[in-house]
Structure 1
Amino acid sequence: MILVTGGAGFIGSYLQAELHARGEETVVVDWLGHEEKWRNLQLHAPSRVIAPEDLDAFLASKPDIKAVFHMGAISETTATDGDLVWHTNVTLSQKLWSWCAEQDISFIYASSAATYGAASTREEFSDDPSNLEKLRPLNLYGWSKHVFDLWVAQQLRDGKKTPKQWAGLKFFNVYGPNEYHKGKMISVIKVKYDDISKGHLAKLFKSDSDSVADGQQARDFIWVGDVVDVMLWLYENPHVNGLFNCGTGVARTYLDLAYAICDSLGTPREVEFVDMPAQLRGKYQNFTCANMSKIRGLGYKKEFTTLEDGINIYVKKFLQGSMYY
């Protein structure tokens, strides 16, 4: 069986759907809660759903697991509870890494592009190991992900036993179905879709930098299906190990994004610029772009979905259609 932590969440449930389609037996570690998060699993239920607090007991029972996809985390970039973030994003990740090493099974985990902090050029978004110590994340979430990446690097330097295969993925700006439970951390694409579909103008933040024009803040937006494809490629290629970027390698502006949503909805290309919230000023990344040469060099060949095509799929097939994947 395959264990998916955070398997009822956004990326985790999309991965769960693909594993289910392949006939894999899966166990999901997550809380379903009292809202509608269960719907992320309604079309592809796992064999079991285990609450995170019951994970230790489950692993102690020596289940027949061949791989762990560790997607579970506190992912809010505005999180402030340092103790909770550390326990969830660092301690749990260390426990799972060590368990996979002991059991000699594969471990594929979610890192984040938030680890890059104020990086502003494509060259600075390098997943080369020599760049790791130079990174300075801007928020607690990014720092917690970076701490675990550093811990992994230290395990390797110390010659400690590692999982059969290990791979960390620095996710850039992921969007797509099954993200509806994420509240204020939902993708900007869903937020702008809601505004435009209700007849409002898409609101974009004014720039807080003299060198970046309003609407020209750029991100590497990646369709969730492409993210999962990368994870499954890694699983199918157990000789590939390392910490990798997971984006498209192309930065697109927020104005591009808003226009693509307008086009998909058949509405005029009109936007409104609003002041950036005070809590984001000085912590806002004006540019992200994954350098994808490392994983490309190891054999990942599939082309990534363009922003326009991804938005059109998301809008037509899901937001105006079945909603869930």
Structure 2
Amino acid sequence: MFLVTGGAGFIGSNLVTALSARGAEVTISDRLRDGPKWRNIRDAVIAGIVPPEDLPRWLEGAPKLEAVFHLGAVSATTVTDGDLVAGSNLNLTLRLWEWCARHRVPLIYASSAATYGGGAEGFDDDADPRALARLRPLNLYGWSKHATDQRIVQMLALGQPAPPQWAGLKFFNVYGPNEAHKGRMASVVLHKWRQIAAGEPATLFASDRPEFPDGGQLRDFVHVDDCVAAMLWLAAHPRVSGLFNIGTGRARSFADLARAIYAARQQPPDIRYVPMPEDLRGKYQYFTEARMDRLREAGFDHPPTSLEEGVTRYVRQLDAAEVPA
């Protein structure tokens, strides 16, 4: 049995479907609410859904778990409720850490590339406390993930109990199926596809930094299938622990992304630039690129999906969907 928190969400539901396809038993901890989120898990066989508030009680009577994948979080980079974010992203992760340590269950949890802030200190997934101390996240969400990573590394340094395997995954800019429920926090691929499919031009943020042209902001865009491949590989290699970047290792521009969507739909590009929203000024990453050396050196050999390949596959799925995304 596997437990996947956030299992009906974007990355979580893709993992749940992959585990189910392998014949694994999977319990989800999540809320479906009254929207179409249930569609994310309709292709999976699940053992049940546990509301997040009931998770501590469920865990005390849980069957033997092969691993806990903790992907549930308050993930909006614009959220300002510090108590909500700390409770969901920091405190819950640490409680799961303690439970997994006590019950000898591997824990694979979602960190974030948002921990790197503006990237002044690079994007090296180094778990050394001194390296972590130099990072400066730009928003509350990034801080909550960074604080979690720091506390875990501190507990390890102090020799406190730890799960038999642990991995904190710094996901970069993930895109792919099952993200429509995320609203504003869905990937740029989905937002731009919606504009283009509606016959509108694709709008991108104009640059407010002279070293970057409009549309030239660079991100490491990673298809969700690559994220799932990394998590499944880690679960199959219980001796591998640490903080790991999950990306392609190659930064691409937002303009490249928009052009890839147009190419997938066989349309000429029509890109317009709009001012950066005020709530993102000073909190917007202009460059991210995952260093993948540590996970590759550990043996992970899944080839990254190129931007053009991943966007084309996703756009064709969106175009063919029975229910609009």
TM-score range, shorter chain: over 0.9
Structure 1 residue ranges, 4+ long, deviating more than 2 angstroms after superposition? 317-324
Q: 1:116–1:135: 8 Å Cα contact kept in structure 2? A: yes
Please tell me whether residue 127 in structure 1 is matched to residue 134 in structure 2. no
Give the CA deviation at 1:62: 4.0
Q: Figure out how many residues of one structure are paired with residues of the other and give that number.
A: 322
Give the CA deviation at 1:102: 0.2
CA distance change for structure 1 residues 215 and 39 in 2, over 3 Å: closer, same or farther?
A: same
Tell me what 1:178 maps to: 178
* CA deviation vs aligned residue, 1:70-126 (integer Å, no higher than 9, x gap): 000000000110001000001100000000000001100000000000115xx7100
Q: 1:178–1:323: 8 Å Cα contact kept in structure 2? A: no
Tell me what 2:244 maps to: 244
Moved more, 136-145 or 292-301: 292-301
Tell me the percent identity: 51
Tell me what 1:216 maps to: 216
Q: 1:203–1:274: 8 Å Cα contact kept in structure 2? A: yes
Tell me what 2:304 maps to: 304
Tell me what 2:85 maps to: 85
Give the CA deviation at 1:322: 5.9
Give the CA deviation at 1:270: 1.8
Look up the equivalent residue of 1:143 and give its one-letter code.
W
Tell me what 2:231 maps to: 231
Give me the TM-score of the superposition, normalised by structure 2.
Answer: 0.97
Give me the whole-angstrom Cα distance separating, in 2, the residues matched to 1:4 and 1:138. Answer: 28
Please list every run of 5 or more consecutive structure 2 residues that lacks an aligned counterpart in the other structure.
none
Tell me what 1:195 maps to: 195
Give me the whole-angstrom Cα distance separating, in 2, the residues matched to 1:221 and 1:32. Answer: 27
SS at match of 1:162: coil
Give the CA deviation at 1:161: 1.2
Look up the equivalent residue of 2:307 and give its one-letter code.
L
* CA deviation vs aligned residue, 1:236-290 (integer Å, no higher than 9, x gap): 0001000000000000000000000000111111200111111111111110000
Give me the whole-angstrom Cα distance separating, in 1, the residues matched to 2:64 and 2:126. Answer: 34
Give the CA deviation at 1:323: 6.6
Please list every run of 5 or more consecutive structure 1 residues that lacks an aligned counterpart in the other structure.
none
Give the CA deviation at 1:321: 3.4
Look up the equivalent residue of 1:235 and give its one-letter code.
A
Q: 1:317–1:323: 8 Å Cα contact kept in structure 2? A: no
Tell me what 1:65 maps to: 65
Look up the equivalent residue of 1:315 and give its one-letter code.
V
Give me the whole-angstrom Cα distance separating, in 2, the residues matched to 1:152 and 1:116. Answer: 17
Look up the equivalent residue of 1:291 and give its one-letter code.
R
Give me the whole-angstrom Cα distance separating, in 2, the residues matched to 1:61 and 1:300. Answer: 34
Give me the whole-angstrom Cα distance separating, in 2, the residues matched to 1:175 and 1:317. Answer: 13
**Equivalence map 1:88-103=2 (5 Å):** 88-103=88-103
**Equivalence map 1:247-286=2 (5 Å):** 247-286=247-286
Give the CA deviation at 1:220: 0.1
Look up the equivalent residue of 1:135 and give its one-letter code.
L
Tell me what 2:21 maps to: 21
Look up the equivalent residue of 1:217 and give its one-letter code.
Q
* CA deviation vs aligned residue, 1:106-164 (integer Å, no higher than 9, x gap): 100000000000115xx710012232111010000000000000010011100011101
Give me the whole-angstrom Cα distance separating, in 1, the residues matched to 2:44 and 2:198. Answer: 31
Give me the whole-angstrom Cα distance separating, in 2, the residues matched to 1:320 and 1:192. Answer: 16
Look up the equivalent residue of 1:228 and give its one-letter code.
V
Look up the equivalent residue of 2:315 and give its one-letter code.
V
Look up the equivalent residue of 1:314 and give its one-letter code.
Y
Give me the whole-angstrom Cα distance separating, in 1, the residues matched to 2:75 and 2:108. Answer: 17
Look up the equivalent residue of 1:22 and give its one-letter code.
R
CA distance change for structure 1 residues 102 and 323 in 2, over 3 Å: closer, same or farther?
A: farther
Look up the equivalent residue of 1:234 and give its one-letter code.
L
Q: 1:217–1:286: 8 Å Cα contact kept in structure 2? A: yes
Alpha-carbon RMSD across the aligned residues, in angstroms, is 1.2
